[in-house]
Structure 1
Amino acid sequence: MKATALRVRARMLLHQDLPAPEERRAIRQAAGLSQGELAEAIGVTRQAISNWESGVRTPNGPHLERYVTAIRALRRAA
């Protein structure tokens, strides 16, 4: 499989692991983190987290990977 196809497949899998916006917020809150704290941890703005949790926007590119990784870690910690 070509490198481009592998990247597309990896992104598809990440999107499958991304919970619904309401669940994203609940996971973060259960972990006791503010939007600003999560944003700082993954290198985005607080507004980006707000948009992702409200469903206004969906993370993409490297932000998607970091966000899904953070959500997975928070879910395990809760």
Structure 2
Amino acid sequence: MTATVAEKIRSRLQVRRDLPMPEERRAIREAADLSQQELADAIGVTRQAVSHWEAGIRTPRGIFLDRYIDAIRAMRDRDAA
């Protein structure tokens, strides 16, 4: 069964709800003892992109949003262990 456009939109909006506020993004990264450059390298973006995401200047989109959320989840899981 293929997803309708509305279902795809709802799915993407759910992912966005999983993205923490900018201040929390930075705190999660710092708690994982990663630099912005190390996180950027893992996601495939520039250090400046991570800086902008953490400052709330920009929001990741597309595949980078998915990768960023996955990275945040991994960093949280690491801290919880």
TM range (shorter): over 0.9
In the alignment, which residue of structure 1 is the partner of 2:64?
63
TM (normalized to structure 1)?
Answer: 0.93
Q: What is the CA–CA distance in structure 1 between the aligned matches of 2:65 and 2:12, rounded to whole Å? A: 8
Runs of 4+ in 1 over 4 A off after TM superposition: none
2:20 is matched with 19
The unaligned stretches of length 5 or more in structure 1 are none
Match of 1:36 in 2: 37
Q: Percent identity?
A: 60
TM-score (norm 2): 0.89
The number of equivalent residue pairs is 77
Unmatched 5+ stretches in structure 2: none
Cα distance in structure 2, aligned partners of 1:77 and 1:55: 24
